[in-house]
Chains A and B, each alone.
Chain A
Amino acid sequence: MISFDNVNKFYGDFQVLRDCSTHVKAKEVVVVCGPSGSGKSTLIKCANGLEPFQSGTITVNDVSVGDKNTNLNQLRSRIGMVFQNFELFPHLSVLQNICIAQEMVLKRSKQESTERAFALLERVGLSNQAEKFPAQLSGGQQQRVAIARGLAMDPVVMLFDEPTSALDPEMINEVLDVMVKLAQEGMTMMVVTHEMGFAKRVADRVIFMDQGQIVEDEKTDVFFSNPKSDRAKDFLSKILNH
């Protein structure tokens, strides 16, 4: 579904991604973790071309992201993305947030997009909030709307960039619950997160990154029970021991 092959990315002289290669199969849930600044967010932002990369190839659904002839807008419309800071559009209502790209990009009718929006709001438990504006919702509710907005495009894969990092602790679970449900329904997902409980519960694989490199890429139980690298051991001891 998504293939990264020897991806390198630089900010000026600084190398953010070093020779990253991994493959995410359809219906697979992959958690990407690692210390801050390790390049994990950058990696998934390269997958939908939000961040350009200098060498290597990334293909999503057999379409090359870096290729100049690729219609990036069309490709992006099939890749859902959820951001750390939600990034709902503050001047639009919840309903309009979910409908605008459906109508503009997928050319769905107003009626069709509205029906789809309400079905998804129901699914994330917010069907009574459609007319509200983002500022009137809690962080957890905003993030659930953001997930619904992504799902409305019928994506082939969903990318999550630290979806719970900006949330108050009591709201983290309502978002994770939605994501768990999504994973169980067979959505292909790449999730950058520090929520190791979530990783243990639903991830098929865990990728551990450090200093721009993919250090470990293992089945979930192997990663947690028997991490190979010292860096991953160190990271896990810090994140799990309290």
Chain B
Amino acid sequence: MGDFDFSVIFDNLPFLFKGMQTTLLLTAVAMFGGIVLGTLLALARMSSITVLSVVATSYINFFRSLPLILVIFWFYFLVPLALGRPVGGLYSVLVAFTLFEAAYYAEIIRAGISSVRSGQAAAARALGMSYTQSMRFIVLPQAFRAMIPILLTQGIVLFQDTSLVYVVGLKDFLVSAELIANREQRLIEMFSFVALVYLAICFSASQGVKFLERRMKR
């Protein structure tokens, strides 16, 4: 006790970096996929076509009622079954996170669309624009502009949640660090380092969001 050796961190930086790449890849894919799918879900939920609205609402309520860790497990076993071949942890986790996040993004985006005055869509339609055109060029750009801070905040939460992939043994940043910590018997050093990295990334990201919010208010 008492003799900390932080060189273990520097010696294993390439391995840790690879873990961070997995974490970032997962965050980026789930965020992008979640926003695209979430937008479609939000539009479907707000649609006047009952079937669409019911399906989208059910989807959103279903995923929002489940713990994320269960969804990760579920897809880990389900996706290989559906495809009839093993797909590996990464792909099942990418699918699980994207589908899960889409439900949360859908609700954020729905609120964003509702915040755009209904007269905007009416003005677009009155000019002869189709529903798709009025959404794509008039309503959604305004909605997304208003939503950027909250979408990014959700992204920060997602970034932290990706650490849950340890349950299927995927080597993200946290799992990589844990492997080294156990091998080298340097638990305190490694976990402190991991905490610091998560803190630095999340804190600076949320500061960035705050800055953006202030700038948009002006």
Contact = CB atoms under 8 A, between A and B. Distances in A.
Interface of A: 48, 50, 73-79, 81, 83, 85, 87-91, 100-101, 104-106, 149-150, 153
A76 B128 contact: yes
Contacts of B142: 89-91
B202 to A, nearest CB: 30
B129 A101 contact: yes
Q: Is the interface of B mostly helix, strand, loop or mixed?
A: helix
A58 to B, nearest CB: 15
Contacts of A150: 127
A153 B127 CA distance: 8
A76 B122 contact: no
Nearest to A89: B138
Q: Is the interface of A mostly helix, strand, loop or mixed?
A: loop
A91 B137 CA distance: 10
Contact of B126 (A74, A81, A104): A81
B145 interface: yes
A104 B129 contact: yes
Interface of B: 117, 119-120, 122-130, 133, 137-138, 141-142, 145
A136 B21 CA distance: 45
Contacts, number: 60
Given A89-B138, A91-B145, A101 B128 contact: yes
A183 B128 CA distance: 23
A44 B163 CA distance: 57
Nearest to A85: B119
B112 to A, nearest CB: 13
A79 B127 CA distance: 8
Contacts of B137: 100, 104
24 contacts: A48-B126, A50-B125, A73-B125, A73-B129, A74-B128, A75-B128, A76-B126, A79-B126, A81-B123, A83-B122, A83-B123, A87-B119, A89-B142, A90-B142, A91-B145, A100-B127, A100-B137, A101-B127, A104-B137, A105-B127, A105-B128, A105-B129, A105-B133, A150-B127
